[in-house]
Chain A
Amino acid sequence: MTTVASEAPTRERVRLGGLAQFAAFTISIAVALLIWQLVVRTGLISEQDLPAMTTTVKKLWSLMHTSDFWIAFLQTVRGWALGLLLATALAVPIGIFLGSNEFAGRAFRVPIEFLRPIPSAALIPVLFLTLGTTLKSEVFLATFGAFWPLLIQTIYGVRDVDPLAVDTGRSFGLGRFERLYRITLPSAVPYIMTGLRISSQVSLILAFTAELFMGVPGLGQEVNYASSFGLTVDLYAYALATGILGVAIHLFMSALERRVLRWHPSQRAGTT
């Protein structure tokens, strides 16, 4: 009985909080859109530099009824997904190896420390002139950028395994691979998921960058066209679409993280 009594007000507060959050969210976005509309309509910013909110949204709406828009949209999504998948396929095994083998970890520490902060965008001209305006360039760039955050997170995650758990596994007679599969990997998963979230953002940015600068088909190329031909409204509409795609991918990755980690204490309800 006491549990029920103590839970009731909490649940009510949460629900009220949810409603307030929704209201704040809606009001906040509505106000921002209104301000956008007003700065243009009052002439504070010329309509040639910034089309009105309604004009831009209408443009985006009509673009969304063309197949060209969705092809470009999906091409960018494809670049993001392939880059992230390849980076994961490479970074996680290498990270597990470098994280669990102290000697290898030290041997490759300097090259990794040096390569990690290199802005992958610097590789654009080389890719442009060697691989050309192909999907390969885009995927290479996205993979290269997304590889590093995930590698570092995986190494940290594997190193952070409780040695006691590994020793217990060993004394229970678990072999090397079983220890890896049952102890090391599960405890590194939260780190790997954080790395995936960062890498996902990087992969999208670089896929888009490849399209913008190298003319690989996709949203980036559309932005480049609109900008070159002075189609200001299209430019804003495509940038808006890109932002929405960024948010959608972020929400998707956060949901994935919650789902994969639902067994993990950090995600369980009521442990805060």
Chain B
Amino acid sequence: MSRRTYSTLAVAAEIAVPVAILLLWQAWTVHADSQYFPRLSTILVEFKDMWLFSQFHEHVVPSLVRILLGFGIAAVLGIALGIPLGLSRWGRLLAMPHIEFWRNMPPPALLPISVLLLHSIGDVQKVAFIAFFCLFPVLLNTIDGVRGIDPTLVDTARSYGLGRLARIRRIVLPGAAPQISAGMRTSLSLAVIIMVVAEYFSSTNGVGYVLLISKNTFEFAPMWAAIVLIGLLGYLLNLLFILAEKRFLAWHRGWRAATGS
């Protein structure tokens, strides 16, 4: 088999396999005829009816706002805390026990506590909850990224008379950027999961709320439409982030290609 035939076949498989999976799903749901697993075609029609765009504003927008706000706060805080901690050994020694504890805490364990402490099941509690747990991937990656910077670079900058802030802005932040970005990507996926869990626990609107209501009323088509939407949301946010990363870290990739490292 020539290389050309092979790559044509591979591309064909890349298209055929997902299509086959969807067809199998449809065939199976038609065959099973179960109320729990409505036909894929029914789910898609429901999806169109609900999310394009009659309930989009009512339920999807609040969820998106919570994800993005929570994620944004986590990213800013994570970088702002991670840089000093990455630079200071004592800071790390003192902070690590707490970081290790909270980052290994299963987030749902704090859901009732967050409602209790913040006296809210609305945006304040959702955003704070998402921000808190999305903080750790950014924070830990920032610390690692800062620690991984070649000390000679920082020393050189110092001997050229760059002040502390200039060193952070020109050497530390760009040097740690790829790893900070990796942490942010993890946090973004995490934000979607935590949004779902937090809304499913207690809320008055949002995609997780739709999931909860359709469970309580045994309506399977809207439930599956919500699941498909959450999947799409996770996928698209991840995709957007990768595109943004490619754009903002282009200098870094170019540099890596040029030096062959």
Contact = CB atoms under 8 A, between A and B. Distances in A.
Contact of A20 (B9, B93, B220, B237): B93
Given A121-B193, A243-B105, A243-B109, A126 B223 contact: yes
Interface string B183-218: 000000100110011001100000000011011001
B21 A246 contact: no
A246 B104 contact: yes
Contact of A122 (B13, B100, B108, B227): B227
Interface stretch (A87-95, A105-113, A152-160, A166-174): A105-113
Main secondary structure, interface of B, reads helix
A260 to B, nearest CB: 20
A254 B109 CA distance: 23
Contact of A107 (B10, B106, B227): B10
Contacts of A27: 94
A22 B10 CA distance: 56
A119 interface: yes
Interface in B215-234: 215, 218, 220, 223-224, 226-227, 230-231, 234
A250 B200 contact: no
A239 B113 contact: yes
A247 interface: yes
Given A28-B98, A111-B21, A121-B196, A205 B107 contact: yes
Given A103-B10, A209-B197, A119 B230 contact: yes
Contacts of A118: 230-231, 234-235
Interface residues of B, number: 56
A109 B119 CA distance: 44
A227 interface: yes
B247 to A, nearest CB: 20
B260 interface: no
B231 A209 contact: no
A242 B109 contact: yes
Nearest to A243: B105
B104 A243 contact: yes
B93 A223 contact: no
A223 B109 contact: yes
B200 A129 contact: no
B243 interface: no
Given A45-B117, A107-B17, A129-B218, A28 B100 contact: no
Contacts of A213: 108, 200-201
Nearest to A118: B231
Given A118-B234, A118-B235, A246-B104, A239 B110 contact: yes
Interface residues on chain A, size class: 35 or more
Interface of B: 6, 9-10, 13-14, 16-18, 21, 36, 90, 93-98, 100-102, 104-113, 116-117, 119, 189, 192-193, 196-197, 200-201, 211-212, 214-215, 218, 220, 223-224, 226-227, 230-231, 234-235, 237-238
Interface of A: 20-21, 24-25, 27-29, 32, 45, 49-50, 102-103, 106-111, 113-115, 117-126, 128-130, 201, 204-205, 208-209, 212-213, 219-220, 223-224, 226-227, 232, 235-236, 238-239, 242-243, 246-247, 249-250
27 contacts: A24-B94, A28-B93, A29-B98, A49-B117, A107-B10, A107-B17, A111-B21, A117-B189, A117-B235, A119-B231, A120-B193, A125-B214, A129-B36, A129-B215, A129-B218, A130-B36, A205-B108, A212-B201, A213-B200, A223-B108, A223-B109, A223-B112, A242-B105, A242-B106, A243-B104, A243-B105, A247-B100
Given A29-B97, A242-B106, 6 more contacts: A125-B214, A208-B108, A208-B109, A213-B201, A235-B112, A246-B106
